[in-house]
Every structure is written in structure tokens, then in C-alpha cells.
Amino acid sequence: MMKRRYAIIAFCAATALVGSSRAFAQTTAAKPDAGKPIAMVDGQPIYRSDLPAATQAQLLQLHQQEYKVESQALESLILEKLVEDEAKKQGIPVEELYKKEVDSKVPEPSDDEARGYYLAVKGQTTLSFEQIEPQVKRLLKNAATQQARQKYGEELRANANVALLLQPPGVDIGQNDPARIEGNPSAPITIVEFGDFQCPFCGRVEPTLMALLKKYNGKVKLAFRDFPLSTIHTYAEIAAEASRCAEAQGRFWPMHDAIYADQSKLTEDDLVATAGRLGLNVDSFTACLKAGTYKAAIQQDEADGARAGVTGTPSFFINGRFLSGALPEPQFEAIINSELAALKGQNGSSASR
């Protein structure tokens, strides 16, 4: 891998053209009967996979929202259960456990803290600080106590044997190109990126992706898919074709890295010059570009992405879980860790049978 410059993560949003209306993206976790017809017309079946791409994307978003609500509720129940178990171990009621381990250790708010809070919300009341000082301190104490109780539950969770079996909604985005996969091909976690070579934010997210590959060495691999936003990026399409022509000579990743290293050089002449610097056969590369050899393959990536809910770049699927927007590294890590924990839980569950 070539060295990459550090930059801030962001998101290059734009509306994408949806290709064929025959979608294959499915939220398989939420629809266990996805293989069954949902209608019959003169004896011919209609499946969920036949629904229009836009409908598939809307359904995916709904299932993601459903999973988020379930996950949050599940986390609360897990912490509640762990606290109850700890109270039983100590032979005391839950509230007494909280008072002993948490509430008694929460300090009283200082005068400065109370006054600072009052000044922050002063516009919402006509009363003076002296008139409501006791209420402000009580409010701050209650908030601090709730936060401390939450932290206590999380500490119990960190030392407990918890296996999350709730499955997030996934999406089938078709086959990834082995030549455009970086990292251990056998890694259990796959980050699929739908990217645009002219999108500046795709370039800026590269250091984050490389950091993740390094941090989760052997456990995470990165697959690149084309999603040129040609309506706003004039050279996105030809840059995608250039990467494919380089791939034909076994040099996809060097071309990928070179383009993102300097996105100001994306004309045909620039790309041919880059190919020369990378040691490619320039005549073959140029002929490949002029023939538009990989236009159909690029359009297939676009169609796959659109069916799966991609509307801008960079967009990611981590083992089928969709991420889009200006994402910091911890958001990738949260899903990666969740997926690794789920795999561990599944393996542990299988081993115990």
C-alpha cells in the first residue's frame, strides 16, 4: 500500500441515477422469507427482489431504523439484567445496590456548577439564581447520578459474558472484484466502499480506511466499487475507467492511490501520464481508455449501489450494514467491533451445542 496523507472525513452527497429497476438488494435479516413470492400475475411470481431500486433503498432505511430502536432497547435491558444479577449476588435490592455503589459516590454540585447551568438557561426563567438555586442543584445531582448509574452498568457489562444475537439488517450488493480488495481476502469483516475518484471527500477518507485495515489486521478487508457522480464530477467516469484499465494490468491499487493522491490530474492525458509513471504499458492503457472497455462494468457497480440505497459518495457497507455521511473513525470501529462480537457469540453458541 502506498502512503497516504491524513485528512478529515467528510461526505460528498449527490443524487445518483438509478439504473435497472430490477433490484436484487434485499434486507435479508429482516425478511427471512425473502425467497417467497409476494404476488402472482397470471402464474408468474413477483419477488421482493423485483421491487424498484428506490423502494429497496427506502425499505433498507426503515429496517435500519427498526434495528436501531431494537438495539437501544436491548442494551438497556442487558444493563438492567446485569445490575439485577449483581444485586442478587450481594443479597440486596437493586436500589440499595445503586445507593451503595453509585449514588453515595456522586458529589454535590458546586456553587459554580449550579450558577453556570443557571446562566446557560437564564433566558427560560424570570426567577433569580438565589430563588431557584436548590432546584438547580437537585437537577444537576439527579443528572450526575443517572450518568453514574449508566457508567456502573457499562462497567458490569465489560466484565460479563454477553453475546449479542440480534442480527442487523444486511444487504446483498453482489460480488466484489477480487482484484479490487485490499487486506486479507479471508478476513471476516468486509468494508465495501462505493467511491467516486473525483469526490474530494472520498480522497480524504482514505487514511481512515487504511488505519482500520492496519488496526484490524487480518480481520478486515476493503473492497472498492465504482460510483462516479458524473452529473457533478466531469472526470469521475474516465477516472473510474482508468482504474479498471490499470486493473487489467494488475495495477488497480497503485492507480487508485495515485488518483486520490492528486485529484487535480484527471484528464485523459493526466491519467495516461500517471499510467506511465506507474510502469503500465501505456499503449494498451490508452487503447483501453479510448475503447470504453469497462463502461458496462462501471455501470453495473452504479446499479448495484443504487439498488442498495447508495445516493452519494463515499458510502460504505460493513458486512452489509450501511453507512453514509461524514463519518469519524470510531463509527466504523463501533460496527466492526459489533460484527466481531456477533461472530464470536455465534461461534461460542455453536460450540456449546
Question: 64-76 pLDDT, tens per residue?
Answer: 789 889 989 999 9
Range of the domain at 121: 67-158
326/336: higher pLDDT: 336
Please indicate, yes or no, if residue 61 is contained in any of the structural domains: no
Answer yes or no: is pLDDT of 320 > 90: no
Answer yes or no: is pLDDT of 278 > 80: yes
Question: 159-202 pLDDT, tens per residue?
Answer: 998 887 887 776 768 789 999 999 999 999 999 999 999 999 99
Residue that finishes a domain, picked among 111, 132, 158? 158
The DSSP letter of residue 164 is -
Question: Who contacts 144 (Cβ-Cβ below 8 Å, separation ≥6)?
Answer: 106, 107, 109
Residue that finishes a domain, picked among 95, 126, 158? 158
Place of cell 449476588: 89
Q: What is the pLDDT of residue 267?
A: 97
Same-domain check for residues 95 and 176 = no
**If you average pLDDT over every residue of the chain, what do you get?**
87
How many residues belong to the chain? 353
Answer yes or no: is pLDDT of 26 > 60: no
Q: What is the pLDDT of residue 31?
A: 46
Please indicate, yes or no, if residue 230 is contained in any of the structural domains: yes
Instruction: Determine which of 44-48, 104-108, 307-311 has the lowest per-residue pLDDT on average.
Output: 307-311
Please indicate, yes or no, if residue 180 is contained in any of the structural domains: yes
Please indicate, yes or no, if residue 286 is contained in any of the structural domains: yes
- Specify whether the CB–CB gap between 299 and 19 falls below 8 A: yes
Answer yes or no: is pLDDT of 37 > 70: yes
Q: What is the pLDDT of residue 321?
A: 86
Please indicate, yes or no, if residue 141 is contained in any of the structural domains: yes
Answer yes or no: is pLDDT of 6 > 70: no
CATH of the domain at 238: 3.40.30.10
Answer yes or no: is pLDDT of 42 > 90: yes
Same-domain check for residues 178 and 292 = yes
Q: What is the pLDDT of residue 35?
A: 72
Instruction: Determine which of 12-21, 121-130, 162-171, 184-193 has the lowest per-residue pLDDT on average.
Output: 12-21
In terms of Cα–Cα distance, which of 335, 345, 303 is closest to 64? 335
β-pair type (189-195, 220-226): parallel
Residue that finishes a domain, picked among 124, 158, 192? 158
Q: pTM of the prediction?
A: 0.67
Same-domain check for residues 141 and 179 = no
Strand partners, 324: 315
Please indicate, yes or no, if residue 46 is contained in any of the structural domains: no
Count up the domains in the chain and report the number.
2
Q: What is the pLDDT of residue 29?
A: 37
Q: What is the pLDDT of residue 34?
A: 57
In terms of Cα–Cα distance, which of 219, 215, 171, 182 is closest to 315? 171
Question: 217-231 pLDDT, tens per residue?
Answer: 999 999 999 999 999
Provide, rounded to the nearest whole percent, the portion of the chain with pLDDT above 90. Answer: 69
